[in-house]
């Protein structure tokens, strides 16, 4: 694996290591994977216990309320994965029936697969109609086709798992709007309630779909974690406010009903990837605003969310609109998705928490842990770093885990398909299962889904 970047952020929270009294400054660090400490270029050594094992952490020095400046130096150590097998709970459905009594026939499965394929084809054609067929997009779609071809061996295996595994509960209705459905990935081990990750998939706000989370669901369910992949209306079926409402409704269903599927409502974690990370963050911040008396009634509580995981997300739309335009998501389309330029600030979590009238909501937010690759050109890693810095400055709990040389899709697709121990997923498990050292300490080497040379080619041709 490539070496990682390790930079520090201070925090007034006990969620991160204790403060040290130093002058406000950044010092370049040398990370030596063979050593148990992180060494400053000026020769000082610091070794402290990190929030997450082994992954690199970005922390920016800020001034504490009492005037002190702090800088935290963390180091990572490797942990091995669990040897739990992919599993699913035989818990009763919402209507009281059991998993075994609802086994579908092959004909029903094929019919469902055909319907899903039709939906995906329609989404693809819809994307083409909005983006146009200029030279830039012709070359990008050619690259996308080659990229998909290289990863096809993995897609076929994951697709088979998604459609035919008895451990996957597909299309559970959570609301009354179109596409208000979610998929559940259930562990086989039914000994006690399981932690839950509510996942909002990405897709440029246009082609998001719940099945995009099947690889994550498969991998985390192997670690005794329930994964709920939330579908939502995409543009032009809905705009950003509809997407946020759908995500919030899905989270509400999970918080209020996951116990019926073997989940622990007191151990719910929220996660999003790319556009899904933005939508999930908006839903979380909006929920906290409502709870502070600034909005409508609520059907779930932010206190039920133990932590938020943001993967390759963008949280300040004002700083990203030009970047997206240059990447091909043209300004006119993007502003239509976001309901006009005047709404960009409203749907930018990084800016909402800085509102003088809403600064008090930061203390109500759960710990925010952001993952980003340094070679991400779709959404630069600075988007995550700036959001974390803002939260830290306002007294929130935040951390950024940077992965050197990783692109927008490496962390979510190529790395999991590589097999063996996966870096980012191990970091997630270390937080979700932090009180279960037996699970974390066990090792599981997942089988490879795609040959290495094809993964390397996919890394270079990826249009993302």
Which of 376, 410, 422, 427 is catalytic? The answer is 376
Query: 25 near 71, Cβ under 8 Å?
Result: yes
Helix (H) or strand (E) holding 307: strand 305-311
Query: 116 near 221, Cβ under 8 Å?
Result: no
Say which residues have a Cβ less than 8 Å from residue 226's Cβ, sequence separation at least 6: 89, 184, 185, 186, 187, 194, 195, 196, 197, 258, 261, 262, 263
d(C-alpha 314, C-alpha 273), whole Å = 10
Helix axes 106-131, 135-150, angle to 10 degrees: 150
Say which residues have a Cβ less than 8 Å from residue 188's Cβ, sequence separation at least 6: 85, 86, 87, 88, 89, 167
What DSSP line would sit under 257-274, residue for residue?
HGGGGTEEEEEEEEEEET
Which of 274, 302, 384, 430 is catalytic? The answer is 274
Say which residues have a Cβ less than 8 Å from residue 262's Cβ, sequence separation at least 6: 89, 91, 186, 187, 190, 193, 194, 226
**Whether 46 is catalytic:** no
**Whether 32 is catalytic:** no
Cα radius of gyration rounded to whole Å, the chain: 21
> In the numeric block, which tokens belong to residue 60?
């920016």
Query: Cα–Cα–Cα angle for 428, 92, 108, nearest 5°?
Result: 90
> In the numeric block, which tokens belong to residue 81?
């994965």
What DSSP line would sit under 204-258, residue for residue?
TTTS--GGGGHHHHHHHHTTT-EEEEE--PPTTTS-HHHHHHHHHHHHHHHHHHG
Which of 278, 372, 408, 459 is catalytic? The answer is 408
Pairing of strands 398-403, 368-373: parallel
Say which residues have a Cβ less than 8 Å from residue 352's Cβ, sequence separation at least 6: 285, 289, 345, 346, 358
The CA-atom distances, in angstroms, between 190 and each of 293, 420, 425, 441 are: 39, 25, 22, 20
d(C-alpha 224, C-alpha 86), whole Å = 8
Name which of 432, 217, 200 is nearest 310 in CA terms: 200
**Whether 408 is catalytic:** yes
The residues assigned a catalytic role are: 274, 376, 408
């Amino acid at each position: 694996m490539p070496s990682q970047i390790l930079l520090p952020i201070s925090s007034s929270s006990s969620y991160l290591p204790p403060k040290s009294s130093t002058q406000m400054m950044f010092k370049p660090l040398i990370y030596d994977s063979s050593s148990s400490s992180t060494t400053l270029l000026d020769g000082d050594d610091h070794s402290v216990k990190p929030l997450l094992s082994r992954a690199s952490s970005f922390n920016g020095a800020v001034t504490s309320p009492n005037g002190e400046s702090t800088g935290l130096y963390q180091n990572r150590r490797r942990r091995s994965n669990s040897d739990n097998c992919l599993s699913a709970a035989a818990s009763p459905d919402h209507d009281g029936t059991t998993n075994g009594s609802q086994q579908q026939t092959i004909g029903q499965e094929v019919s469902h697969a055909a319907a899903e394929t039709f939906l995906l084809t329609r989404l693809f054609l819809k994307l083409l109609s909005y983006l146009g067929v200029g030279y830039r997009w012709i070359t990008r779609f050619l690259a996308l086709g080659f990229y998909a071809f290289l990863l096809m061996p993995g897609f076929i295996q994951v697709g088979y798992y998604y459609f035919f595994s008895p451990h996957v509960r597909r299309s559970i209705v959570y609301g009354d709007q179109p596409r208000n459905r979610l998929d559940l990935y259930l562990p086989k081990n039914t000994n006690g309630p399981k932690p839950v990750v509510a996942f909002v998939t990405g897709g440029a706000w246009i082609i998001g779909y719940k099945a995009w989370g099947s690889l994550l669901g498969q991998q985390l369910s192997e670690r005794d974690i329930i994964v709920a992949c939330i579908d939502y209306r995409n543009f032009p079926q809905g705009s950003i406010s509809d997407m946020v409402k759908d995500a919030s409704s899905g989270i509400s269903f999970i918080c209020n009903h996951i116990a019926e599927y073997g989940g622990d409502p007191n151990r719910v974690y929220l996660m999003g990837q790319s556009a899904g990370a933005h939508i999930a963050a908006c839903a979380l911040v909006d929920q906290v605003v409502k709870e502070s008396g600034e909005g409508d009634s609520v059907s779930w509580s932010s206190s039920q969310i133990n932590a938020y995981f943001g993967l390759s997300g963008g949280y300040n739309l004002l700083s990203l609109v030009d970047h997206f335009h240059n990447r091909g998501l043209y300004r006119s389309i993007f502003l239509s998705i976001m309901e006009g330029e005047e709404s960009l600030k409203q749907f930018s979590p990084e800016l909402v928490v800085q509102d003088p009238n809403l600064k008090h909501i930061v203390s109500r937010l759960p710990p925010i842990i952001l993952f980003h690759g340094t070679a991400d050109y779709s959404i630069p890693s600075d988007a995550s770093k700036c959001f974390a810095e803002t939260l830290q400055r306002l007294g929130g709990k935040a951390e950024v885990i940077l992965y050197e040389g990783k692109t927008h899709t490496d962390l979510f697709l190529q790395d999991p398909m590589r097999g063996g121990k996966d870096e980012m997923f191990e970091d997630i498990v270390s937080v979700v299962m932090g009180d279960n050292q037996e699970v974390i300490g066990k090792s599981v080497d997942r089988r490879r889904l795609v040959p290495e040379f094809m993964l390397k080619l996919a890394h270079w041709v990826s249009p993302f």
